[in-house]
A and B are shown apart, each in its own frame.
Chain A
Amino acid sequence: EAQVTQNPRYLITVTGKKLTVTCSQNMNHEYMSWYRQDPGLGLRQIYYSMNVEVTDKGDVPEGYKVSRKEKRNFPLILESPSPNQTSLYFCASSWTGLTFEQYFGPGTRLTVT
């Protein structure tokens, strides 16, 4: 089954404790992206990757890191989480090209206290 998986689905942590949210897709997609969703703001892009070892900032990259060492994986790293990073996070992937549909993971609900 074609899918994007994220782990964990829920995470409660404390300020400053490094964490990683994993994202994996099994569709051989080149493009992968991380979004955060906050009430009243819709989704905002954090980082994206056009292919292995190619990553770039989105609209809200501060406080986040990513890496793309393998095509299928695109982890999101919070080196020192803060309460303003409490949010719902989505990973998405797609093929590059004009026929474009992004496939979304199930979301990760992160709470930083």
Chain B
Amino acid sequence: AQTVTQSQPEMSVQEAETVTLSCTYDTSESDYYLFWYKQPPSRQMILVIRQEAYKQQNATENRFSVNFQKAAKSFSLKISDSQLGDAAMYFCAYRSDSNYQLIWGAGTKLIIKP
């Protein structure tokens, strides 16, 4: 069975600096999708970024980028120029190419220090 591990329960960063959140996963499949979701205090789940496993190029969305290492089964999220509004829980999630179920990590709480 696939698993997703986020080893950092909590991270903090100074406003305007860069922070990297870690995620590792375990799968025997070759085709899959990886996601980072943000959950602010409002509890709403917001998709931050998505990576298709068949794409070698790392996905980027404005200040958010990923470092996807397929062989190492690693999918980290880098947030540049951190802003107070980035404070939230961040979840890493995996989906295989043959199943619509999302497998989730336990989450990382990101604190932004002003």
Query: Residues of B with Cβ closer than 8 Å to A?
Result: 4, 6, 9, 33, 42-45, 47, 50, 91, 93, 95, 97, 100-102, 104-107
Contact = CB atoms under 8 A, between A and B. Distances in A.
A74 interface: no
30 contacts: A31-B100, A33-B100, A35-B102, A40-B106, A41-B106, A42-B4, A42-B91, A42-B104, A43-B93, A43-B102, A43-B104, A44-B104, A45-B101, A45-B102, A48-B101, A50-B100, A59-B101, A88-B43, A90-B45, A92-B45, A94-B100, A98-B97, A100-B100, A101-B50, A104-B45, A106-B42, A106-B43, A106-B44, A107-B44, A107-B45
Q: Helix, strand, loop or mixed for chain A's interface?
A: strand
Nearest to A43: B104
With most chain A CB atoms within 10 A of its CB, the pick from B4, B9, B101 is B101
Contacts of A33: 100-102
Q: Helix, strand, loop or mixed for chain B's interface?
A: loop
B100 A96 contact: yes
